[in-house]
Structure 1
Amino acid sequence: MSRSLDWIDGRLRVIDQRKLPDRQEHLDITTVDELLDAIAGLAVRGAPALAVAGAFGVALSAARHSASGPLDAGAVRADADRIARCRPTAVNLSRGVARAVAVLDGGAHAVLAEARRLLDEDERVNRAAAAHAAEYLLATTGRRPLRILTHCNTGSLATGAWGTALGAVRDLHERGSLASVLATETRPLLQGARLTAWELQRDGIPVRLCPDSAAASALRSGAVDCVVVGADRVAANGDVVNKIGTYPLALAAARHGVPFVVVATSETVDEATYRGDDVTIEQRHADEVTSLGGRPVAPPGTPVYNPAFDVTPHDLISAVITEHGVRAPSPASGLAQQLAAHTEAVTDFPAPGVLFQDLAGVYRRPGLLRAAARDIARRVDGGCDAVVGVEARGFVLAAAVAVEAGLPLLLARKPGRTPGRTERVSYRSEYSTDTLELPAGALSTGHRALIVDDVLATGGTLAAARAVVEACGGTVTGYAVLTEIAALEGAARLAPLPVHALRTVPEGDPV
């Protein structure tokens, strides 16, 4: 199969998807600005294709900024940043750019070689993911040949050559296990009508076009054996961000007991984003809805809601399938399980006999940290006037909670680190004796404070934080922590005030 984009004679050549299905034309891109225009105008699109195009964009910049002397790495990185930010929803674009930038010290030739490797890899991983998906569909549907409903365009135009969801369709077709494809027209840009129908007809695969609003009826009628779609981003908890209209398809499929399968490469899985709601959803121009073929179809000035993508919750998805196989949603997709998965228990640290809960893995994942902070902030709900973070690791979570809740942040610090007059309280923690300080007057009399730390062990630190808040004239409404070690009974020491622990390590659990 010919590639939808390739490097030819020192330029990036892409099929201009804006011209399809009327005519197939190629666009030769020689500068970063031309690439940005092509991406913004959707001449090139699709999450895997954007990753490859982004890497070649860095190669174009590296060639330009080394043509008359040593490579100007700063200028190339500036171009790379522009490319990575031009489509915010799909994670693949920024990852493709990052791969190219990572070899920048090797010069322009190294960057181009990395972009070419990414293009070759794209075809291999797409074929592998498609094969896994075909096997899954044949194993779970119990019907031959299959009647598949798909949404948007996930074929060779959206990738380097083969496709993700449409790659699975091609695989089934080659096996003789495909009856037909029902392709949605796919608002707002009609990429199903313009691109998917064009690809399938070109390849001799039987396809019918379906208005988006008729898809649920097709599922209800029993005319569909499975729904197969792609993804622009898969969050750590299994939520899927994909072309607008994917979510209602998943709802309808769940209602009628039809498998709903997502096919994507592992590069589309974003472990740094905890859930789909943390993803920026791109809004498209109103003209895409108020006009058709350049002719207005709505009264002038009609306001428009035109998101390009939506979020499908993981519990509506039968399986996410990558080149590594099935990545099925499971109970471990919850917040507590995610925190556990990225927390390391370190024995005999910082003192013999102490089991240290190292949360560095949580802090390295901004989406997971944001989700934790939002969960705590929702429980505040106007019930306090400030967030008090406890030195040192409590500062990280407390700052995120304060931002989410829109509240002032106060720092309860170790001695000698706060200028001016302070209130102080000494205490005994799980493995040391220490002191906490707050600036005198930091809280007015009666001000309500939520105390936030990373781990609740014996409760000594949080009890001291409460005492120093009260010494300043404030009132503590409760405590919030990422992890509570139940065996140490810290919550009992803090009673009757409530403790909100996002994760509890039960007695006898070494993690």
Structure 2
Amino acid sequence: MSFHDKFDDLKLLKPVIFTGKEVLLLDQTKLPETEKYLKLKNCGEVAKAIKTMKVRGGGAIMLAAVYGLALSAINSKGNLKILKKDAEILKNTRPTAAALFQAIDFILRIAEKSSNVAEDVQQAANWLFKKTVEMEIKVGENGSKLFEDGDTVLTHCNAGALAAAGYGGVTLSVFRKCREKGKKIKVFVTETRPYLQGARLTLWELKKFGFDAVLITDNAVGYCMQKGMIDKVLVGADRIAANGDVANKVGTYLIALAAKKHKIPFYVSGTIDPKTKTGDEIKIEIRSPEEVLIFNGKRIAPKNIKVFYPAFDITPHEYVTAIITKDGVFKPPYNFGG
């Protein structure tokens, strides 16, 4: 039995698997049409897969990166200089993802004290995987207390199983725990342009687990709220600052504004980054114009035009009704600075 097989009773979707020789990544750019695993043999291949969105979501990116470092340690026979170089390459793939930086620094601290770098880095990566699964379950348990039987919940992008270790991330885990408690939840999902993470990934997950789900266009959020079709909002976060400001997929801020207008609770699930004092300190990743200009292999806009595509935005803490973490549910005023 492999390390990852030990979690089969939890019905993980397994976006990231480490075999000891390869990192297997479920190629999220191919979903929902094709369920295909990429077989990555070195850290450079893992970094490229992260950069090109083959794997995405804070937790899944983090796990892919630490297993990439495990490959680096194995392939280099524990060479710390090479490991640190590969760590910097991985950090530069997705600058907004807090968990990525924290986990890489953790792995490096383990390696620097180790007498068997390759073995200890692999064990540390497996420990992070186990802790991520435990975090997903705890977040689900805590978050489920905020929802009632019959609620219709709006979510944006994908912060579910594919974005973490596979149980349910920080959103689907809440819905799974609601179901365990006999609460029936209906989910409205934004398509999430331009990568369509909501349409392709979140709906794929929800269908896998048999949830009642409805796909809407990104610009239909206000209409659905205005018509009383949404009871609550639940989104994940790539980074939550100490003051409660939230970095998440671009469009989240607009949803929060609409929710505030219509007196709809706006909940955020994730992990706090106490070192980031406010959202102003969070670097927003600006991605390639081609991701906006090209859809399904075809250009959808005229040639020679300018494109601005921030992948994330910042939702100020005053729009956040509550923050759900593995340690509990927190309400304003937020002060996670310690």
Q: TM-score range by the shorter chain?
A: over 0.9
Distance 2:334 2:186 in 1: 34
TM-score under structure 2 length normalisation:
0.92
Higher mean alpha-carbon deviation, 299-308 vs 322-331, is at 322-331
Cα deviations across residues 116-170 of structure 1 (Å, max 9, x unaligned)?
A: 01001101111101110011234xxxxx311110000111110001211121122
On the 8 A contact 1:147/1:178 being kept in 2, the answer is no
How far has the Cα of 1:329 moved from its partner? 2.7
Paired residues for 1:270-285 under 5 Å: 270-285=273-288
* AA aligned opposite 1:152: C
Secondary structure of 1:209's counterpart equals strand
Higher mean alpha-carbon deviation, 120-129 vs 174-183, is at 174-183
Matched, 1:252 2:252: no
Q: Which residue of 1 aligns with 2:323?
A: 320
On the 8 A contact 2:58/2:100 being kept in 1, the answer is yes
Which one has the largest radius of gyration?
1
Q: Which residue of 1 aligns with 2:177?
A: 171
Distance 1:156 1:124 in 2: 13
How far has the Cα of 1:303 moved from its partner? 0.9
Distance 2:331 2:75 in 1: 44
On the 8 A contact 2:189/2:203 being kept in 1, the answer is yes
Matched, 1:237 2:248: no
Secondary structure of 1:19's counterpart equals coil
Cα deviations across residues 326-351 of structure 1 (Å, max 9, x unaligned)?
A: 12230758xxxx6xx6xxxxxxxxxx
Distance 2:303 2:27 in 1: 30
How far has the Cα of 1:35 moved from its partner? 0.4
Matched, 1:91 2:98: yes
How far has the Cα of 1:52 moved from its partner? 1.3
Q: Which residue of 2 aligns with 1:150?
A: 155
Q: Which residue of 2 aligns with 1:53?
A: 64
Which of 303, 306, 310 matches 1:303?
A: 306
How far has the Cα of 1:219 moved from its partner? 1.0
* AA aligned opposite 1:187: R
On the 8 A contact 2:152/2:186 being kept in 1, the answer is yes
Which of 9, 12, 17 matches 2:28?
A: 17
Cα deviations across residues 382-411 of structure 1 (Å, max 9, x unaligned)?
A: xxxxxxxxxxxxxxxxxxxxxxxxxxxxxx
Cα deviations across residues 77-98 of structure 1 (Å, max 9, x unaligned)?
A: 1111111221100111111111
* AA aligned opposite 1:230: G
Secondary structure of 1:81's counterpart equals helix
On the 8 A contact 1:145/1:176 being kept in 2, the answer is no
Which stretches in structure 1 are left out of the alignment for 5+ residues? 139-143, 342-511
* 4+ residue segments displaced more than 6 Å: none
Distance 2:31 2:284 in 1: 25
Secondary structure of 1:137's counterpart equals coil
Larger strand fraction of residues: 1
TM-score under structure 1 length normalisation:
0.62
Distance 1:80 1:306 in 2: 26
Secondary structure of 2:145's counterpart equals helix
How far has the Cα of 1:243 moved from its partner? 0.3
On the 8 A contact 2:175/2:185 being kept in 1, the answer is no
Count of residues in Structure 1 that have an aligned counterpart in Structure 2: 323
Higher relative contact order (CA 8 A, sep 6+): 2
RMSD: 1.4
Which stretches in structure 2 are left out of the alignment for 5+ residues? 1-10
Which of 192, 197, 211 matches 1:191?
A: 197
What percent of counterpart residues are identical? 36
* AA aligned opposite 1:173: R
Distance 1:56 1:161 in 2: 15
* AA aligned opposite 1:46: G
